[in-house]
Structure formats: structure tokens, C-alpha cells
Copies of this chain bind each other. A is one copy, B any other.
């Protein structure tokens, strides 16, 4: 189903092993999901993507971790990314998203999808009040 060949024994490569070890330590779980097993085809790309995802999702910041996963899932849905939608909804559930919150998330995403299409059709001028860089 994929466009790259995942290595049969990814952790034979020490760079891959170091990333996998960090994933396990960060998540406190032995489960390495497919995105990392496939990205291991190129250790440099694996390191870069994990660094990015860890920085934004596994590092304390202004937003709650659960909210960050929900925003991440919302973008993935809009971009029609199958794998990302599954994995980030699962992560949001693992970080405490309730069934009611998931349904609410879908409701917001769906309504945004609706009005995004309406406004991309009507194309009204953006109100001056919304602009942050007017003189």
C-alpha cells in the first residue's frame, strides 16, 4: 500500500534505533506505529519528522496537549490525510478526548467545511476590523 519500502529490521540502523528509543521514552509505550517504521527508509527524514512532531505535540506549550491533537486532527481531516486522521484522533483519545468532545470536534470541522466552501464561492471582502496590519 505504500510508496516506500520499510526496512525489515529498522533498529539495526543506530540512527533509527535512537529515534525509536526516544519515541518509546517520550510516550512511555513500546508501540511504534507505522509512520515511524516506514519513515525509517530514510534515517535523516525520520529524525527530522520526529523532532518536529515531538516539539509541537510532546513539549509543554501555551495550549493543552489534548487540544493540540484535536487541532492537528482537524487539519488532517481537511487535507484528506487518511493515516494522519486516524493517528491524531487516536492520540487525542489517548490524551483524554471524550466521545462528546470528538462529536463536537466533528461538528466544528463539518461546519467549517460548509462555510469555507460558501465563502470561497461568495468571496466577500475581508472586514477592515479583522486586519492586524492596517496602518
Contact = CB atoms under 8 A, between A and B. Distances in A.
Interface of A: 1-6, 31, 33-35, 37-39, 41-42, 44-45, 48-49, 52-53, 55-57, 61-63, 67-68, 70-90, 98-127, 129-133
A88 B98 CA distance: 24
A56 B111 contact: yes
Given A62-B98, A122-B38, A124-B38, A76 B112 contact: yes
28 contacts: A1-B131, A2-B123, A4-B133, A6-B133, A38-B122, A38-B124, A42-B106, A45-B103, A49-B115, A61-B100, A62-B100, A63-B108, A71-B105, A71-B108, A71-B112, A72-B112, A75-B109, A75-B112, A82-B119, A83-B123, A84-B115, A89-B130, A90-B129, A106-B118, A111-B114, A112-B117, A113-B113, A125-B133
